[in-house]
Structure 1
Amino acid sequence: MTDQASVRRVGRGSDHAELLSQYGLGVALGEVAPAGSTPQPAAAADAPAALQNLVALAVQLCNAKYGAINVITEDEFHQIAALGLEPLMCARDDSLCGQVFQYGHTVVVPDCREDPRFRSNPFVDGRFGEVRFYATTPLLTRDGVPLGTLCIFDEVPGDLTEQQVTGLETLAAQVVDVLDLQLRTRQLDATVSELRRSNELLGEFAGRISHDLQGPLTNVVGLAELAEDEPALQEGPAGTYFKRIGASALRMASMVENLLGYSRVGGAAHPRVVPLAEVVGAAVDDLGHSVDGVRITADDFEGKADREQLRVLIQNLLTNAVAYARPGVPPEVRITGTGTPESWRLDVADNGKGIPPEDYDRVLEPLVRLEREGDPAGTGIGLATCVRIAQAHGGRLTFDQTPGGGLTVRVWFGSRPS
């Protein structure tokens, strides 16, 4: 049996009610019937269905007729799962478990009529029932705090062997494990909801900041261009300064736009089967003249993905393939899909400069760029955005070397096929 000295005692009070509420077991009606009132059908409790199976096992193990899992509040006894009877609730002082709940250990009573604690209880003396054999064990949290009880009872006297007592306590521990799982699920749901709300606020904030920054930057670019058109301002170093101001403002505007895109993509994906070649065509149209002269081929493969996020991913990879082409080598990009629509891999292979394997992990971080001679200016956001899109689809992004030179970007969607 449980060592009573190791159990943390919990009396009646708001702390215990708060603990039950955290487990989703705050089942008090709010207006508690006084002791001696007729038991009522139990109010609906948010209890896992697995608890009913554990009650059935307890009844079978102990050769009893009835069994129940009970939550005991400050003033109430509330059955959340029962076998052999409809779950009921009553005043805590009227219940058998309510009398021994504070003990913190298993109690076995062969005949309640012979026990001074229970012989005048309304569930024993005929007012509410005629319980004779009764056994109960507490539902203890990992901190030793009792949430309620697992009990079995019958209308004829009986007893439990030491092995049955151990089995009953083991089942009680399983009940607590089920309730702990429910608690963790509730906590996870709350965390996910909070993260979703935070992401929405972050997206709204990024949108406002982008708007507020793009206005002044556009004004700076416009003034710099006007200055470049004024012959009087082109003499001496002034013309060079204005060109640098315009170029810096354009780079900053591009970074703001990329950061805004990074904050918006990679969240909730809404996948459906989309034709890969069609999405590639849309990305090419968006890139316009920047991909003129680039040989781009795409498979007729169909895969499940969020169409807009897939377009953004392909657009970013095409932009990189063009930006990091090898001097004197006409850029080529081959886009293929393998697997099934539910679980597939996208390969985007170019013939450009590639990325050294030792830098594969580093370039996936936001705002990280390779500093190589001849590389164009950039923001270091494109690949990080692609990683977020892959993660939103339950996948990942990796690199490989293209045979003959270049970089192959592999992106998994859904589960990860080989």
Structure 2
Amino acid sequence: MISPPLPANEDKRLESIRKLDIINSFAEETYDSITKLASEICQTPIALISILGSETNWFKSKQGTDIPESDRKISFCGHAILKPEELFEVPNTLEDIRFKDNPLVTAGENGIRFYAGVPILDAEGLPLGTLCVLDSKEHRLTENQKSALRTLAKQVELLFEYRRKNQALEKMKNDLDETNRILREFASTVSHDLKMPLANMIITADILKAKYSKKMDSEGINYLNYLKHSGLTLSEYINGLLDHYSSSNLEDDTSHEFFLNDLLEDIIDLLQIDQNCEINLPDNNLLIHGNSAALGQIFMNLISNSIKYNSSEKIIIEIDCTENREFYNFSISDNGIGIPKEKQNYIFELFTTVADRDREGKKGHGIGLSTVKKLVGSLGGNIRLTSEEDEGTHFEFSIMRTKLVD
């Protein structure tokens, strides 16, 4: 018996296997279907997808045997990977000096007499293992069988590549989750730390104005007004950040049963609208099983924007809702200033605003719509808009029923 020598690129090959993180993974139907096909096409009782580690030849998938692995020193696959671009075939192991006294060959009537394997390569051409077929009797593959075995090996390579990409995506997701967690904690900490000094600044400005206004000229009064206005603007900005980063808590809120119009009426009361505004609620007061806190936050942001970014003498907002087997579908339209075409593709991004100034001349912070999109997505839905400048905006969004049902 001749044990297989190590390939020249053994260290890189083993590193590639380590990064794939597949040895000792659970059985998967996608791999098992390939070995089953290989066995049937090549007319052999045994088919394996092997991964050649430093000490063992481990089987990711196996047909016709229950053995999970073999010693690399006696493996056929160790020889097969030495020529990564070629199919390795041994028609009769008893006639091959490398294998005739191999324990796998001399194991009585169950000993291996035939082996054929195609190396499975990574993206850099490093052989990780093989797709191989084995028989206890002498055998030769036809050209069609060889071609089919090579094709199936390519499918294994694709599965390995998909596994790598999924791992990279999972790592990216975990990194983003961790980054978002840190950002949430940072935003929450900084925002809370700033709220009290800001409140003190606003109150102090009011006290100074009330106590010393008679001793100040108009310029001094204007400075105090500017100081208070700046404090209020920054306070609104901080509250917006807190709402955005605390929206993750709303996503986890438990589902319950509520009527949509009842929720909308509560939101309208909370907004304390002092404008000439008409809000038309849906004709059908839909009964919803879902996350009222998240849905309420969505509508609060959208209604608030419809009021703020509206220059009409009378603000008109239309809200509608339908349902089907999979989704609740909502819409909200207004007669506001609309959203320019060039902004519509990224209006849901954080810190993007509809306009430079709202109805009262205040500058927006661009947090509300990004929070809306985040909440809608967390509830299994999508949101889109249609808008024309000076003609209003129409939002449509959906929420998956299975996400809302308790």
Normalised-by-shorter TM-score class = 0.7 to 0.9
| Residue in structure 2 matched with residue 67 of structure 1 by the alignment | 47
| Residue in structure 2 matched with residue 257 of structure 1 by the alignment | 239
| Residue in structure 2 matched with residue 307 of structure 1 by the alignment | 292
Distance 1:262 1:21 in 2: 40
* Residues 119-177 of structure 1: per-residue CA shift (max 9 Å, x gap): 11111123795211211111112221111111111111111112211111111111122
Shift in CA distance, 46/180, structure 1 to aligned 2, threshold 3 Å: farther
Residue 332 of structure 2 is aligned to residue 335 of structure 1: no
Is contact 1:74–1:92 with CA below 8 Å preserved after alignment?
A: yes
Find the partner of 2:81 among 67, 78, 101: 101
Task: Calculate the TM-score normalised by the size of structure 2.
Answer: 0.84
3-state SS of paired residue (1:176)? helix
Deviation of 1:108 after TM superposition, in Å, equals 1.1
* Residues 398-418 of structure 1: per-residue CA shift (max 9 Å, x gap): 13469x954332224359xxx
* Residues 51-89 of structure 1: per-residue CA shift (max 9 Å, x gap): 111111111111112111111111111122211110332
Task: Calculate the TM-score normalised by the size of structure 1.
Answer: 0.82
3-state SS of paired residue (2:225)? helix
| Residue in structure 2 matched with residue 124 of structure 1 by the alignment | 105
Distance 2:386 2:333 in 1: 10
Deviation of 1:361 after TM superposition, in Å, equals 4.3
Distance 2:105 2:341 in 1: 78
* Residues 263-283 of structure 1: per-residue CA shift (max 9 Å, x gap): 333799459576422331332
Aligned length: 387
3-state SS of paired residue (1:87)? coil
| Residue in structure 1 matched with residue 279 of structure 2 by the alignment | 296
Shift in CA distance, 199/358, structure 1 to aligned 2, threshold 3 Å: closer
| Residue in structure 2 matched with residue 40 of structure 1 by the alignment | none
Find the partner of 2:369 among 367, 370, 383: 383
Query: What is the aligned-residue RMSD (CA, Å)?
Result: 3.0
- Residue type matched to 2:21 in 1? G
3-state SS of paired residue (1:238)? helix
Distance 1:353 1:290 in 2: 18
3-state SS of paired residue (1:202)? helix
| Residue in structure 1 matched with residue 3 of structure 2 by the alignment | none
Is contact 1:284–1:291 with CA below 8 Å preserved after alignment?
A: no
Amino-acid identity (%): 23
Shift in CA distance, 10/413, structure 1 to aligned 2, threshold 3 Å: farther
Shift in CA distance, 341/220, structure 1 to aligned 2, threshold 3 Å: farther
* Residues 34-59 of structure 1: per-residue CA shift (max 9 Å, x gap): xxxxxxxxxxx334221111111111
Shift in CA distance, 390/234, structure 1 to aligned 2, threshold 3 Å: farther
| Residue in structure 2 matched with residue 76 of structure 1 by the alignment | 56
Shift in CA distance, 195/364, structure 1 to aligned 2, threshold 3 Å: closer
Is contact 1:369–1:378 with CA below 8 Å preserved after alignment?
A: no
Find the partner of 1:350 among 318, 321, 334: 334
Shift in CA distance, 54/361, structure 1 to aligned 2, threshold 3 Å: closer
| Residue in structure 1 matched with residue 265 of structure 2 by the alignment | 281
Shift in CA distance, 238/346, structure 1 to aligned 2, threshold 3 Å: same
Is contact 1:48–1:182 with CA below 8 Å preserved after alignment?
A: no
| Residue in structure 1 matched with residue 70 of structure 2 by the alignment | 90
Query: Which blocks of at least 5 consecutive residues in structure 2 are unaligned?
Result: 1-6, 402-406
- Residue type matched to 2:98 in 1? R
Residue 380 of structure 2 is aligned to residue 399 of structure 1: no
- Residue type matched to 2:232 in 1? L
| Residue in structure 2 matched with residue 38 of structure 1 by the alignment | none
| Residue in structure 1 matched with residue 141 of structure 2 by the alignment | 160
3-state SS of paired residue (2:261)? helix
Deviation of 1:355 after TM superposition, in Å, equals 4.1
Query: Which blocks of at least 5 consecutive residues in structure 1 are unaligned?
Result: 1-8, 28-44
- Residue type matched to 2:292 in 1? R
3-state SS of paired residue (2:386)? strand
- Residue type matched to 1:240 in 2? N
| Residue in structure 2 matched with residue 139 of structure 1 by the alignment | 120
